[in-house]
Amino acid sequence: MSPTHIERVRLYELVWSRPMSHLAKEYGLPSQKLKEVCDKAGIPTPAPGHWQRIAAGKKVSQPPLPDAPPENSLLAIAPYTPRMRAPAPSGNAHGTDQGLELSPAARPKQKKRGVRSGPDLEVPAKLGRAHPIISGWQEEHKRQTEEAKKYRWGGVGFAPAPLTAMDRRRYRILNTLFKAIEKVGGKAIEEERKAIAIELDGEKIPFQLREKQRQVRRPLTESERRWHRPGDKEWRQELQPSGKLIFEIKHYLPSGFKRQWLETDETPMEELLPEIFDILKQVAPILAQQTQERLERQRLAEIAAHERYLAEQARKRDDNRWQRFLELADAWQQHEQARHFLAALTRLEINRDTSVGDMTLAEWLTWAESRLVEGNPLNHGVEALFTDIEKITSYTSFKKTIY
């Protein structure tokens, strides 16, 4: 689309006639870009809350347009075209999320297995000095075990299951990862129900390290056979530990980044840890940038919605002011009809001393004339009439005034 040329004075008038977001749409660009055009041309723009104060009926000030050189009197407003990024790769062998695009520099780098990078990621054979989160889990397990011994009933205590070799191995891997993340400026976070996450570059990335379960068929026990009926299956299917750890990032990732690692007999989780650490380091700044962009879009959407709300308030208030004007016009028309009617009555040949109720006809005519004076909308002048209209600051409906 070709740029729109507009006089500097005309753009100044338009900017102060309606909200910036509404005007910017007519030129095909965001309100921030239109404000940049105004700032560059030395055109003052309404301050935040300007249209809200107008909708509330408050007085606002409008600064005059400063002088500018003659060569700057004609402005060109070019439509805004956002920069397009290259499409993301369509293939996804690891089940990662689709629809997020990355530049070639931001795509995950292929690393050779076993190559170490960054902090020391060698998982020790013994836990040694545990991270506060790991030591907290150990203390909690010890406390629950001791309490179960104190409150044993009938020879049975509600003690937690003893820590297995797989539990201790999982603790050592997490302990190594937590410390490595902290060495590069991040931190480990424990959430509800022992859920864990890391925070890196201001972005929280939840993950899970657990033992993978597998479905197996087992024979029926003696108690289960008692309820067995002809035709029922001779086995039960249930989940059992597989003896293999699985690491899963519980967060969407840009396309091309792996989210899940399952150890094998040839490659244990300890050897996969450097690759996991590198992926976390790469995606954290990308996710942080996407979060900032999302929050900025949300902020701009809220501003636009608020401006639409204020514009709707102003429109409704203007409609009510017009309704008040029509009411005053109806009152004036009724007043004119009453005035002509009273004039016709006074021209009739009547006995003014005749009593009607508690007043004479002369007193009735005087009463009608006084009412005409009181009910004339123009009795106090045009300025007073529009002062009455200007007092309507609410956009809600109001009761019709009866004269």
- Please provide the DSSP assignment of 234-297 as one string: SEEEEEEEEEEEEEEE-S---TT---EEE--SSS-HHHHHHHHHHHHHHHHHHHHHHHHHHHHH
- The whole-number pLDDT of residue 249 equals 96
> β-strand 235-249 against 74-77: which pairing, if any?
unpaired
Is there a domain that residue 308 lies in? yes
Task: Evaluate if residue 160 carries a pLDDT over 70.
Answer: yes
pLDDT band at 131, cuts 50/70/90?
very high
Residues 365-374 have pLDDT tens digits of: 999 989 988 8
Is there a domain that residue 164 lies in? yes
Q: In 323-373, at which residue ranges do the beta strands (DSSP E only) sit?
A: 355-356, 359-360
Kindly report the backbone phi and psi dihedral angles of residue 394, in degrees, each rounded to the nearest multiple of 5, phi listed first: -90, 145
Q: Which candidate, 285, 254, 281, 286, places its Cα nearest to that of 92?
A: 254
Cα–Cα distance for residue pair 196/191, rounded to 1 Å: 6
Cα–Cα distance for residue pair 239/83, rounded to 1 Å: 50
- Point out the least confidently predicted range of 24-38, 220-234, 269-283: 220-234
Contact 235, 257 (CB under 8 A): no
pLDDT band at 403, cuts 50/70/90?
very low
| Averaged pLDDT of the chain | 82
Task: Evaluate if residue 215 carries a pLDDT over 80.
Answer: yes
Q: List the structure tokens of 178.
A: 């937590």
Is there a domain that residue 204 lies in? no
- The whole-number pLDDT of residue 396 equals 54
Q: List the structure tokens of 148.
A: 């179960």
Is there a domain that residue 9 lies in? yes
What is the mean pLDDT of the segment spanning 377-389?
87
Kindly give, in sequence order, each residue whose CB lies less than 8 Å from that of residue 382, ignoring residues fewer than 6 positions away. Answer: none
For residues 140 and 63, state if they share a domain. Answer: no
> β-strand 187-190 against 196-200: which pairing, if any?
antiparallel
Contact 236, 220 (CB under 8 A): yes
Cα–Cα distance for residue pair 390/311, rounded to 1 Å: 18
- Point out the least confidently predicted range of 63-72, 106-115, 378-387: 106-115
What is the mean pLDDT of the segment spanning 149-161?
66
- The whole-number pLDDT of residue 402 equals 39
Of 181, 207, 223, the one marking the end of a domain is 181
For residues 134 and 73, state if they share a domain. Answer: no
Kindly report the backbone phi and psi dihedral angles of residue 244, in degrees, each rounded to the nearest multiple of 5, phi listed first: -120, 135
What is the mean pLDDT of the segment spanning 179-185?
92
Give the amino acid at 256: G
Of 24, 50, 77, the one marking the end of a domain is 77
pLDDT band at 235, cuts 50/70/90?
confident
CA–chain centroid gap for 162, Å, is: 45
Cα–Cα distance for residue pair 317/391, rounded to 1 Å: 11
Residues 271-305 have pLDDT tens digits of: 999 999 999 989 899 998 888 888 888 888 888 88
Give the amino acid at 394: S
Is there a domain that residue 328 lies in? yes
What is the mean pLDDT of the segment spanning 386-402?
67
> Could you tell me what percent of the chain has a pLDDT over 90?
30
b/e burial code for range 15-25 (CB count within 10 A of at least 16 → b) = bbeebbbbbbe
Q: What share of the chain is helix, strand, coil (3-state, %, to 5)?
A: 45, 15, 40
- What one-character-per-residue DSSP string does 269-285 give? HHHHHHHHHHHHHHHHH
For residues 310 and 384, state if they share a domain. Answer: yes
- The whole-number pLDDT of residue 391 equals 85
Task: Evaluate if residue 259 carries a pLDDT over 60.
Answer: yes
Task: Evaluate if residue 186 carries a pLDDT over 70.
Answer: yes
- Full residue range of the structural domain in which residue 373 is found: 300-390
Is there a domain that residue 353 lies in? yes
**Which residues are bridge partners to 203 per DSSP?**
200
Task: Evaluate if residue 59 carries a pLDDT over 90.
Answer: no
Is there a domain that residue 107 lies in? no
Q: Which candidate, 254, 281, 268, places its Cα nearest to that of 113?
A: 268
Q: List the structure tokens of 56.
A: 């509330």
> β-strand 74-77 against 187-190: which pairing, if any?
unpaired
For residues 70 and 137, state if they share a domain. Answer: no
Contact 38, 45 (CB under 8 A): yes
Number of domains in the chain: 3
What is the mean pLDDT of the segment spanning 209-214?
89
Of 144, 164, 181, the one marking the end of a domain is 181
Is there a domain that residue 43 lies in? yes
Q: Which candidate, 263, 229, 236, places its Cα nearest to that of 247?
A: 263
- Point out the least confidently predicted range of 37-51, 95-109, 240-254: 95-109
Element (H, E) at 331: helix 269-346
